[in-house]
Structure 1
Amino acid sequence: MTVRIVARGASTNRTTRPPDRRPASRQWSAWAFLAPVTLYLALFYAYPLYRNADLSLRDYTVRSFVQGDAPFTGLENYRKVFDDPAFGPALTHTIVFTAVCLVFQYAIGLALAVFFHQRFRLSATLRALFLVPWLLPLIVSASSWSWMLNSDSGVVNAALHVIGVGPVHWLTSPSWSLTSVIIANIWIGVPFNLVLLHSGLQSIPRNLYEAAALDGASAWQRFWRITFPLLRPVSAVTLLLGLVYTLKVFDIIWIMTKGGPAGSSTTFATWSYRLGFGSLLPAFGPGAAVGNLLVVAALAFGLVYLRLQRKQALS
């Protein structure tokens, strides 16, 4: 039997390789790609939220912004907001404005999405025309609706006069001002719902409709049993985004009615602006507090949506 003895330090067949530095370089590359997004979120989202929270917890005045000596008041600004007589009407108007706009925007958008899903000759052209309200600047849309709903020279009252209906004071009557801004906001938001829901309809296999038609299902049964259930994830995203957008609508209401008359169309968004910038003695703290209430409401609905999505994924 022959025994081979390898001396210590002798070379072997195994060769030592330098340590792999690629994982570290990949990690730095990943951080480099994330840095612009992180910086953007920190500057334009995190810092404004922090400043708004700080405003709501201090007694800020114009002098305080210059000297930087605003005293800390805790939740005093929130107490002022809740005790303000305008809180109840503003909350009611915000809920009504948001709920009615969401329902009609989604219903009309879904109806149009199903209609354009039929793929007729002018489908693409008409669908593009329906996007015009969404593409227009809000100041143009709001100004156009202000002109159309004008009590004396508006085209809406002119059309009502033709059919024998008297003039309606759309923008100057407490009974109609909130309805007027709701109509304008629905008109602006329908194209957004149309685009999202139409894209969701494109992902539903057509063979499901063909099989249901062979089984004798009517058009309504195909919609209720196939379209609506399979469109539920897209509908949830559409409603959530519409909710967040509608909660913070300011431009349309301010341009058309400025929250009036007599606060009849005031929502939290316009009330927050009026408190902070609508007088010679601005109340920055209460105005920021009202704005934070909107942020909390949007965050709460977002968390509810995430919870529902998690339950749906687990089931």
Structure 2
Amino acid sequence: MNHTTQLPDRASVHARKGAAATAPPPARARSPRRPTSTQWAAWGFLAPVALYLILFYAYPLYRNLDLSLRHYTVRSFVQGDAPFTGLQNYRTVLDDPTFAPALLHTVVFTAVCLFFQYAIGLALAVFFNQHFRLSATLRALFLVPWLLPLIVSASTWSWMLNSDSGIVNAALNLVGIGPVNWLTSPSWSLTSVIIANIWIGVPFNLVVLHSGLQSIPNSLYEAAALDGANAWQRFWRVTFPLLRPVSAITLLLGLIYTLKVFDIIWIMTKGGPAESSTTFATWSYQLGFGNLLPAFGPGAAVGNLLVVAALVFGLIYMKVQRKQALS
């Protein structure tokens, strides 16, 4: 019986060789990617900032929230065994008769200060944008209130508004107006701290708004002048709209700063007399540290209300900016 051996076709052999040559190599197990030296350097620069934010921002906020949700006394504050009370401290704050006047004073103080700080700062920024002789020197002198420590500024205004020996009452006496009890009258105490805070906040608005004016090209003003626009029309139609992004961040930062103003009010009036100049900032301090038996929980709750208010306005600003960027 003859067995014939069948030889493979030459074409099929070449096809198998070509397939073997073009086949991808077997996949190898990939080793985990190791950070490069550049990535380690980036983490090294980021670590101090992250540590700073955790220690001085995140942890204090957490502790303040924990204080507002527990019943802390001096003993439990030291030993750390305060019972959890939930929102009881917030209910205590809302039911306190000081809450409504403090809320009103905070709103009035913040709104009036923001309006006049921005209005005066914008007027001075437009004035100094004319680049006349000594404009840089005068603009630098306007920064003095901003550079002084708050305790110095508040003490100076306390002396100036003193009922008996203050320079303000002396000037009023020269024009036939009787002395005003700026710091000791419930009718004038809030006005006094508002005036002092406006004086301190104007330089910040001046600097930021003046820098915004520098970014507006002069060609726009020249084109508006050729169209017959007067000075007011050029300001209202050109300057003010183009300053809107700078104005928004200026007002936001001014709002956050004004909400937490404590030093000026406490040094000048201590929130009095008869709580006539008490705001949330001074009330929070009085609850937490101003009594022999401090109320840590309610004091922290008032402070958290200020944090929430600032956060809400910050979110509103971000939403408005996002809409403006998309439009």
TM-score range, shorter chain: over 0.9
Percentage identity across aligned positions? 85
User: Quick check: 124-133 or 206-215, which moved more?
Assistant: 206-215
Q: Quick one: distance in 2 between partners of 1:46 and 1:31?
A: 20
Q: Does 1:191 align with 2:203?
A: yes
Structure 1 segments unaligned to the other structure (5+ residues): 10-18
Q: What residue in structure 1 maps to residue 121 of structure 2? A: 109
Alignment match of 1:303 (pick from 302, 311, 315) = 315
**Amino acid in the other structure paired with 1:102:** L
Q: What residue in structure 2 maps to residue 150 of structure 1? A: 162
TM-fit CA distance, 1:196: 0.3
Counterpart mapping for 1:166-315 below 5 A: 166-315=178-327
Q: Quick one: distance in 2 between partners of 1:93 and 1:139?
A: 22
Q: Quick one: distance in 1 between partners of 2:78 and 2:253?
A: 37
The secondary structure found in structure 1 opposite 2:45 is helix
Structure 2 segments unaligned to the other structure (5+ residues): 1-16, 22-30
Q: What residue in structure 2 maps to residue 13 of structure 1? A: none
TM-fit CA distance, 1:216: 1.1
Q: CA-to-partner distance for each residue in 1:45-86, whole Å, 9 max, x for gaps?
A: 000000000000001111012221111100000000000000
Which segments of structure 1 move beyond 4 Å, counting only runs of 4 or more?
A: 19-23
Q: Quick one: distance in 1 between partners of 2:326 and 2:312?
A: 21
Q: What residue in structure 2 maps to residue 120 of structure 1? A: 132
**Amino acid in the other structure paired with 1:282:** P
**Amino acid in the other structure paired with 1:185:** N
Q: What residue in structure 1 maps to residue 5 of structure 2? A: none
Structure 1-normalised TM-score? 0.93
**Amino acid in the other structure paired with 1:46:** A
The secondary structure found in structure 2 opposite 1:239 is helix
**Amino acid in the other structure paired with 1:166:** G
Alignment match of 1:28 (pick from 14, 25, 40) = 40
Q: Quick one: distance in 2 between partners of 1:77 and 1:105?
A: 35
Q: CA-to-partner distance for each residue in 1:118-174, whole Å, 9 max, x for gaps?
A: 000110000000000000000000000000000000000000000000000000000
**Amino acid in the other structure paired with 2:166:** G
RMSD of aligned alpha carbons? 1.9
Q: Quick one: distance in 1 between partners of 2:168 and 2:120?
A: 21
TM-fit CA distance, 1:28: 2.7
TM-fit CA distance, 1:30: 2.1
Q: CA-to-partner distance for each residue in 1:208-265, whole Å, 9 max, x for gaps?
A: 0011111111000100000000000000000000000000000000000000000000
How many residues matched? 304
**Amino acid in the other structure paired with 1:175:** S
Q: What residue in structure 2 maps to residue 16 of structure 1? A: none
Q: Quick one: distance in 2 between partners of 1:148 and 1:266?
A: 21
Q: What residue in structure 1 maps to residue 79 of structure 2? A: 67
